[in-house]
């Protein structure tokens, strides 16, 4: 199992319940795929460095997890098709 880090930015107009549901949804993608979530750090609403689709801020979430090499591709696919995600990045932490 390799260590990965996923950072995603959710739309700022989501309610608190919708944010929690999205965080749980992406966590379940990792757990159901055979991975192990080590840490989820919700940074909260922050100003974006640049405007994306006429939006100036977003809700940042950082998730550290361990998984096999196929799981990050599945997580990336799920993040890409989610309407509530503005931007995302999944990174392998091992060299």
| Domains of the chain listed by start with CATH number | 2-92 (3.30.70.60)
pLDDT range class, residue 94, cuts 50, 70, 90: confident
Query: Residue 43 forms beta bridges with which residues?
Result: none
For 81, other C-beta atoms within 10 Å of its C-beta total 8
Residue 53 has pLDDT above 90, yes or no: no
Quickly list H helices, the chain: 16-32, 71-81
- pTM for this predicted structure: 0.91
């Amino acid at each position: 199992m390799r260590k990965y880090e996923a950072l995603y930015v959710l739309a700022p107009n989501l309610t608190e319940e919708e944010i929690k549901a999205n965080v749980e949804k992406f966590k379940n993608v990792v757990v159901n795929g055979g991975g192990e979530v080590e840490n989820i750090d919700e940074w909260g609403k922050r100003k974006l460095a640049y405007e994306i689709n006429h939006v100036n801020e977003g809700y940042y979430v950082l998730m550290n997890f361990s998984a096999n090499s196929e799981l990050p591709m599945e997580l990336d696919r799920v993040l890409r098709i989610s309407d509530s995600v503005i931007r995302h990045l999944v990174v392998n932490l091992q060299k």
